[in-house]
């Protein structure tokens, strides 16, 4: 009976912890304002966290690009992975910043690459995808309407968003102060274009969705171009390498130290 009671208490405790965590996440998601960016006939849903009601200071902007599973128009799904780590009380106190989380429409993508002859090589197409075009225009608009430090605009993303991170910094190397692509890939032939941008690459060594060879290849190309990128490969981890990336205190501290 005693054993049964202890087990029951443990189960109840787990339920309470789970309920509290869900409540906390819901409370944090409510910190992100709902909005839509409309340009001509195109719409990009997005959520924006405002760091503080302090009009005497400017703040960094962190752009977060979600993965393919969070595409849509509900303006909610993009908060599922990764970005919520930036909205905790601790993060907002230690590193107050604007956090932008746009949502890519269904059947579209942040990046616009095609595969080269080598299966581990992606080639950047001349024109950006429509969601990327909208995102860049949105960033420029926010820089005009919000107290954003334009010397501290950071971009990060997971999976499809990791591809998008490489796409964005390659097309707009003078816009971003740092980049953290997670389980993504880019055009290694363009490494010299982004060599001046501080970059920290994350990947899982056993990723079945996006091969870790993309991380190795891009890191090698950046080093050859004169860059000093960070590279973290998690052993025994598959596609969910972002679970470790966004709780890495060294990376977070490094990110907020970067500026143009």
Q: Give dist(CA 214, CA 106) in Å, integer.
A: 25
Enumerate the β-bridge partners of residue 237. none
Q: Are strands 59-65 and 148-158 parallel, antiparallel or unpaired?
A: parallel
The C-alpha atoms of residue 192 and residue 247 are separated, in whole angstroms, by 29
Round to whole Å and give the CA distance between 120 and 189: 12
| Local confidence pLDDT in tens for the 260 residues of the chain | 444 445 455 444 444 444 444 444 444 668 999 999 999 999 999 999 999 878 788 999 999 999 999 999 999 999 999 999 999 999 999 999 999 999 999 999 999 999 877 667 899 999 999 999 999 999 999 999 999 999 999 999 999 999 999 999 999 999 999 999 999 999 999 999 999 999 999 999 999 999 999 999 999 999 999 999 999 999 999 999 999 999 999 999 999 999 99
- Per-residue pLDDT, 53: 78
How far is the C-alpha of 48 from the C-alpha of 154, rounded, in Å? 14
State how far the Cα of 172 lies from the Cα of 40, in Å rounded to an integer: 22
Q: Is 31 left (phi over 0), alpha (psi -120 to 50) or beta?
A: alpha
The strand pair at 178-182 and 230-234 is best described as unpaired
pLDDT at 236: 92
Contact 108, 68 (CB under 8 A): no
pLDDT of residue 52: 85
| 8 A C-beta contact, residue 138 and residue 37 | yes
**Roughly how many angstroms between the first and final C-alpha of the chain, as a whole number?**
65
In this predicted structure, what is the pLDDT of residue 8? 54
Predicted pLDDT at 235: 96
pLDDT at 6: 54
Give the integer Cα–Cα distance in Å for 198 and 191: 12
**Closest Cα partner for 167 from 202, 138, 204, 130?**
130
- Residue 17 is predicted with a pLDDT of 44
The pLDDT of residue 29 is 65
The CB-based long-range contact list for 195-198 (8 Å cut-off, 24+ gap) reads 195/222, 195/225, 195/226, 195/227, 196/227, 197/169, 197/173, 197/227, 198/228, 198/229, 198/254, 198/258
CA distances from 19 to 98, 124, 137 (A): 28, 44, 39
Look at residue 178 in the predicted model and tell me its pLDDT: 98
């Amino acid at each position: 009976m005693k054993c049964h009671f202890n087990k029951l208490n443990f189960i109840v405790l787990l339920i309470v912890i789970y309920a509290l965590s869900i409540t906390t996440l819901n409370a944090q998601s409510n910190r992100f304002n709902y909005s839509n960016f409309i340009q001509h006939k195109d719409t990009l849903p997005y959520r924006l966290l405002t760091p503080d009601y302090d009009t005497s200071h400017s703040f960094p902007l962190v752009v977060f690009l979600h993965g393919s599973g969070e595409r849509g128009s509900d303006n909610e799904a993009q908060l599922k992975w990764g970005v919520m780590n930036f909205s905790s009380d601790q993060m907002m106190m230690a590193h107050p910043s604007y956090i932008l989380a746009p949502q890519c429409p269904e059947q579209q993508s942040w990046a616009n690459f095609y595969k080269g002859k080598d299966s581990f090589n992606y080639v950047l197409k001349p024109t950006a995808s429509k969601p990327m075009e909208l995102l860049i225009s949105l960033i420029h608009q926010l820089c005009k309407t919000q107290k954003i430090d334009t010397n501290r605009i950071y971009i990060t993303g997971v999976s499809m968003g990791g591809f998008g991170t490489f796409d964005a910094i390659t097309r707009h190397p003078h816009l971003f102060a740092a980049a953290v692509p997670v389980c993504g890939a880019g055009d290694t032939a363009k490494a010299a274009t982004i060599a001046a941008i501080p970059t920290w690459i994350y990947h899982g060594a056993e990723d079945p969705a996006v091969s870790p060879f993309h991380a190795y290849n891009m890191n090698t190309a950046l080093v050859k171009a004169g860059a000093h990128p960070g590279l973290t490969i998690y052993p025994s981890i598959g596609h969910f390498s972002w679970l470790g990336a966004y709780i890495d205190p060294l990376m977070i501290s490094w990110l907020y130290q970067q500026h143009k």
